[in-house]
Amino acid sequence: MNAITYQEEKNIDKTLLLNLYNNAGWVAYTSNIDELEKAINNSLYVLTAKSNGKLLGLIRIVGDGTTILYIQDILVHTDYKRKGIGTELIKRTLQKYASVRQKVLLTEDTEETRGFYESLGFESCDKGYLVSFVKLENKYDYP
């Protein structure tokens, strides 16, 4: 694999976005590419991982960047998983926002997902002193 470049960017080609999000199975996002593009542009921070013009991964952050941030999306193309791309996206983001006290993400509960985030210092709310709640619209989009 050629060198991977990491870049802060929000103006991402729609075709590249569609390919990555579809690869992840996130069809709730890809059913309206204009809405996804608007969400990307309105995000606090977006970091991409690319090689030879292909979008290999992306992390998208929302929040105020001072007291709280939410890791809204983190995706790595299935052909490039387990190559350190997701870890690098998280580490660069956490370094950039090191002074932010509260960093939150909501994700599916699988052994692989738990292991990944716990290896990066995140704690599951079901194991600690916090509780997490979510109100999802269009629940049919989620397993």
Mean pLDDT by 10 residues, the chain (143 residues): 91 95 90 94 97 96 94 93 93 95 78 73 70 63 50
Bridge partners (DSSP) of residue 41 are none
DSSP 42: T
pTM for this entry = 0.83
Closest CA to 62 of 52, 53, 72: 72
Q: What is the pLDDT of residue 15?
A: 95
With beta carbons less than 8 A apart as the criterion, state whether 105 and 75 touch: no
Q: What is the pLDDT of residue 110?
A: 67
Q: What is the pLDDT of residue 5?
A: 96
CA atoms within 13 A on the CB side of 69: 23
